[in-house]
Amino acid sequence: MSERQQRAADFLRKAGVLPVITVHTLDEARAIADSLLEGGLNTLELTLRTPVAIDALAMLKRERPDIVIGAGTILNADNIRASIDAGADFLVTPGTPPALADALAEADIPVVPGAATPTEFMALRERGFRNCKLFPASAVGGLAMLKGLAGPLHDMRFCPTGGISESNAAEFLSQPNVLCIGGSWMLDKGWLEVGDYARVRETASRAAQIVRDVRG
Ligand SMILES: O=C(O)C(=O)C[C@H](O)[C@H](O)COP(=O)(O)O
């Protein structure tokens, strides 16, 4: 495993839970990041799904240097460049077609390429990637899929994301081939719409407790 990939493995394992956030304003980005941090989660994936995402990433890296931020929904080389320029600590992709895998392999930043099938993970493995996102985890088999991958792809580690909630988080996190679990369950749309950041903080805090319970 390259030193760069090892760096991704270290902080993802340490984080245990990777909240996936989508922000619409800089104020919302600050409020979400602060609530997660107060709840005990200091690593997050900020998706590039909204026009303000890159500005929010740069702002958070400037104003909240203690937060480790991955840029998510990386779809192409332009997204990679913009995220690195904004100060991203790592990159996450929902899927990884060959041209994107090439661009990730050249990027000097920890990367967590996404995939959903053994063939795709094998293609990533051939390029040297060992730490990958399983997306959309529940839709493609969830725990059963992770257990299935553990045999043939025993040297790979996964960050399952998609369909994980407070009720199944511990079970996913307990799998030996799981580095961290990703999800948006602590960022319920209804709570965000009414600015109920106390619930975000409480749910983040319970997620942090799940990590302590499972990992010690
Ligand atoms: O946009 C991306 O790049 C993604 O990877 C999608 C997110 O990971 C999922 O939307 C999170 O899944 P839920 O926890 O089920 O909401």
Pocket lining: 113 vs ligand 1, CB cutoff 6 Å: no
> Is the C-beta atom of 182 inside 6 A of ligand 1?
yes
Size of the chain in residues: 216
Among the atoms of ligand 1, which is closest to the Cα of residue 133?
Answer: 5
Question: What's the gap in Å between 46 CA and the centre of ligand 1?
Answer: 10
CA distance 144 to 36: 30
Distance (angstroms) between ligand 1 centre and the Cα of 176 equals 22
Q: Relative to the CA of 93, which ligand 1 atom is closest?
A: 3
Which single residue is written with the structure tokens 């500005």? 55
Give the sign of the dihedral formed by CA 143, CA 145, CA 148, CA 151. negative
Phi/psi at 195 (5° precision): 70, 30
CA of 135 to the centre of ligand 1 (A): 8
Q: Residue 214 forms beta bridges with which residues?
A: none
DSSP-derived 3-state class of residue 201? helix
Using only C-alpha atoms, the chain has a radius of gyration, in whole angstroms, of 16
Mutate to test the pocket of ligand 1, among 12, 17, 20, 47 (most ligand atoms within 8 A of CB): 20
pLDDT per residue as tens, the chain (216 positions) = 577 777 888 889 999 999 999 999 999 999 999 999 999 999 999 999 999 999 999 999 999 999 999 999 999 999 999 999 999 999 999 999 999 999 999 998 999 999 999 999 999 999 999 999 999 999 999 999 999 999 999 999 999 999 999 999 999 999 999 999 999 999 999 999 999 999 999 999 999 999 999 998
- Asked if 146 and 160 count as a contact pair (C-beta separation under 8 A), the reply is yes
